[in-house]
Structure 1
Amino acid sequence: MVGRRELLRAVVALVGLVFGVAAIAQTPGVTASSIRIGQSAALSGAAAELGTEMRQGIEAYFATVNAAGGVNGRRLELVSLDDGYEPDRAAQNTRTLIEDEQVFALLGYVGTPTSEASLPIFTEARVPFVGAFTGAELLRDPFNRYIFNVRASYYQETGRIVDHLVAAGTTRIAVFHQNDSYGRAGLEGVRRAMERHGLEIHAVATVERNSTDVAEATRILTAAEPVAIIQISAYASCAALIKAMQDLRVPPQFFNVSFVGSRPLAEALGDVGRGVIVSQVVPFPFSGVSPLVRTYREAMERQGTTNLSFTSMEGFLAAMVTVEGLRRSGEDLTREGFVRAMETIRGHDFGGFVVTFTDGNHNGSDFVDLTMISRDGRFIR
């Protein structure tokens, strides 16, 4: 016969189990065995390779974590929806992910206009938004406690490019930018950097999002005769402009920020890509020098992916930072607890890439590097 003390212990344990299950049920996207994470990205259209590579990097790291038992015993699940790099679709995807898919957090969104359209939705729902593939200021200022930026900003990238050019004696600097919030963010970054040197932008030309019609931009920039052109657009339109201006007697030197999509840009350019420079916000992924790069390469190989890239490296790194926050949150996982846990990541070295968040600053890194496309379409530092 069970004694009163043993019976009481059993009841207490049962009550604890019921309340524990209820607590988990109250946190969307979290069960006793899984954590569901959402992503909206361009998986089709002119920027499809950016979204595809970002997703590949996230999935590679999630697979690595799941193979080792998950996070505090829970497997990671990624739900990716295609937005075609269109803001309206991204906004609808965000509602779907939060309301229908019941994801715990959002990770690895691709693009400034798509992130901008989603911002009021995830903010109102108080859903963490981590590691977006954009360096736009609108995700940095004003401060939003649900946004965690893993990468450096476009202001930092364009500042590095302008400083490099001016140090080399180049001042006739033009800008070719996408005619949306992404392009305008890059343009403002160049303007600010030029102003620091007492200079003005020499000429400006634009292209519409998801378009490769660069005829008017080519005309404007050809007439201006710049020595260098800083491009703030995606790989298809940037490649179109570079090709269109190759027949000039003295073609300008072309610079791109990281969002361009380095690998697809090099592939689109082929033989004319040599010498094109791209700023990067993650470590060089093609040599296994740092522990981070080795881990990335091994994870991608296990997934059967041979096309290494800066973009999939960024997705991989964003996933690493997210998982670190999940681990620090403990077993009783909540969104608010996750935000607080992420804010304890201070000076954390992810194997050669240091990230710091505080309760007043969610911009994790200021790392910027410059790379160049070489003769064979490979990247060199």
Structure 2
Amino acid sequence: MRFAKVLLCALLSCFGGVLAGEAGVTANSILIGMTAPFSGPNGAYGLDMKRVIQAYFRQINEAGGIDGRMLSLRVLDDGYETERAVANTKALIDTEKVFALLASYGSSPTTAAMNEAFGIARVPLIGAISGADSIRQSPKEHPNNRYMFNLRASYANETEALVHHLVSLGIKNIAVLYQNDGFGKSGLEGVVSALKKHQLTPSAVATVERNSVDVAQAVQQIAAVNPQAVIMVTLYKPTAAFVRAMKKADQLPQFMTLSPVGAELLVQELGEAARGIGISQVMPSPWSDTTRLAHEYQKLIGPQGKPSYYGLEAYAMARVLVEAIRKTGKEPTREGLVNALESMHNLDLGGYRVSYSANERRGSGFVDLTVIGPDGRIMR
């Protein structure tokens, strides 16, 4: 009788261990976490990404899921605030017990979450709207970076493309407006570095606080040098406020900005005043009828959907995650997911390639230059 009880306990213990499995994974589901701004001045960015990811997860689930497991997305609103992003990440890992993280937003929030939460917990994050070097460092030298998998090109890639274009046009008087946070400072460093290659320095540098549109002092500082061009490392609301104020001050430089601005949102905010603004992009055109990735994205959101660069990037992030989970095998684990991602060498998503290795987390170096044309059209 005693032997039978011992055997029963051993079997139950073994069976319980199998049932427990990896956090966020059950026999019929896989739970993914996401923290991003869904409210406040930058909420439109996160909402666009969330809609696309949820639509793609539905598509995967309707086709049978991944080895019979249905994907679900748990989202938390961080308002593009670093402390909230870190708290949300910890809650997603410790309380919600997500398997992995997807589509973070912002340089400072993502860097802090990596160093204080998901890197320590060894939970992989796939995709971040950030080109900061802080989340692209070598995992060998910075162990927390092992769990950060970027898709988009870096701010250094974007700013180099912008500076090279301006200098090739004979423009040398280049000022910089940057957002006072990790995003803006990383972009500023990229501009300064790119200008240095042409024996140039910024003619003026001014800043605007995160989640603020108070650009009066910045306009005064930059207008004082009558710049030929201004590179704006800012999001769409402060960018729009700055452009309006500069034009009101009879300043008409060539305005250039980086991909995080969100071209479609900038057009909505500025209207016809957005015409002529140059924007570096880190994804192919979401309106393309020749790029397979864009075509499949358009099909996903349907004829009533509004294509956007943010939406296409979220789709690419989700595609990489699903591909990696499939590569982990019948019983997904976080370490298995990391290994699967590291084995992705030159993964072709359909006109957009992503590569990782044991010591490389950059994903892609793709940069395209666009300009806002008549009627708000984004032109190459």
TM-score (norm 1): 0.93
Q: Note the C-alpha offset of 1:19.
A: 5.1
The letter for the 2-side match of 1:283 is P
| Residue 329 (1) aligns with residue 336 (2) | no
Alignment partner, residue 275 of structure 1: 276
Q: Secondary structure at the match of 2:206?
A: strand
Are 2:46 and 1:45 aligned?
A: no
User: Structure 1 CA distance, aligned partners of 2:291 and 2:156?
Assistant: 27
2:66 paired residue number: 71
Asked whether the 8 Å contact 2:178–2:187 carries over to 1, the reply is: yes
- Contact kept, 8 Å, 1:21 with 1:32, in 2: the verdict is no
3-state DSSP class of the match of 2:360?
A: coil
Is the aligned partner of 1:28 residue 2:29? no
Structure-1 residue corresponding to 2:309 = 310
1:8 maps to: none
**How far, CA to CA, are the matches of 1:21 and 1:379 in structure 2?**
55
CA contact (8 A) 2:105 2:130 kept: yes
In 2, Cα distance between the equivalents of 1:148 and 1:322? 10
Q: Quote how far apart the aligned CAs of 1:227 are.
A: 0.7
Distance 1:100 1:340, change over 3 A: same
- Give the 5 Å matches for 1:2-13: none
Query: Which residue in 2 is equivalent to 1:181?
Result: 182
Q: Is residue 228 of structure 1 aligned with residue 224 of structure 2? A: no
Paired with 2:274 and 2:288, the residues of 1 have a C-alpha distance of 21
Amino acid at match of 1:331: K
CA distance in 1 between counterparts of 2:164 and 2:90 reads 41
Q: Is the 8 A contact 1:24 1:30 kept in 2?
A: no
Match of 1:93 in 2: 88
The 1:44/1:27 distance shift into structure 2, 3 A limit, reads same
- Runs ≥4 residues deviating over 4 A: 17-21
2:130 corresponds to 1:134: yes
Coordinate RMSD, CA, aligned: 1.8
> What amino acid is aligned across from residue 48 of structure 1 in structure 2?
G
CA distance in 1, matches of 2:148, 2:267: 31
Distance 1:153 1:19, change over 3 A: farther
Q: In the alignment, what sits opposite 1:345?
A: 344
- Counterparts of 1:76-225 in structure 2 under 5 Å? 76-120=71-115, 121-143=117-139, 144-225=145-226
Partner Cα distance (1:45, 1:149) in 2: 25
Distance in structure 2 (CA, Å) of the matches to 1:62 and 1:346: 24
TM superposition shift of 1:34: 0.8
Alpha-carbon shift at residue 288 of structure 1 (Å): 2.3
Alpha-carbon distance in 2 for matches of 1:270, 1:357: 39
Q: Residue deviations 1:237-287, cap 9 Å, x none? A: 001001111134450111111111211111101010101111111110012
1:71 alignment partner, SS class = coil
Of the three residues 57, 61, 65, the one matched with 1:62 is 57
Q: CA deviation at 1:22?
A: 2.8
1:198-257 deviation line (CA, Å, top 9, x unaligned): 111111010000000101011111111111111111110001001111134450111111
Change (3 A) 1:250 1:340: same
Asked if structure 1 preserves the Cα contact closer than 8 Å seen for 2:138 and 2:360, the reply is no
Does the residue aligned with 1:37 lie in a helix, a strand or coil?
strand
Residue identity matched to 1:69? G
Q: Distance in 2 between matches of 1:170 and 1:188?
A: 19
What is the TM-score of this pair, normalised by structure 2? 0.93
For structure 1, the 5+ residue unaligned runs are: 1-10
- Larger mean CA deviation between 241-250 and 63-72 belongs to 241-250
Unaligned runs of 5+ in 2: 1-6, 140-144
Report the Cα distance in structure 2 between the residues aligned to 1:266 and 1:364, rounded to whole angstroms.
29
Distance change (3 Å), C-alpha of 1:135 and 1:20:
farther
Note if contact 2:101-2:124 (Cα within 8 Å) is conserved in structure 1: yes
Equivalent AA in structure 1 for residue 36 of structure 2: A
Report how many residues are paired.
Answer: 366
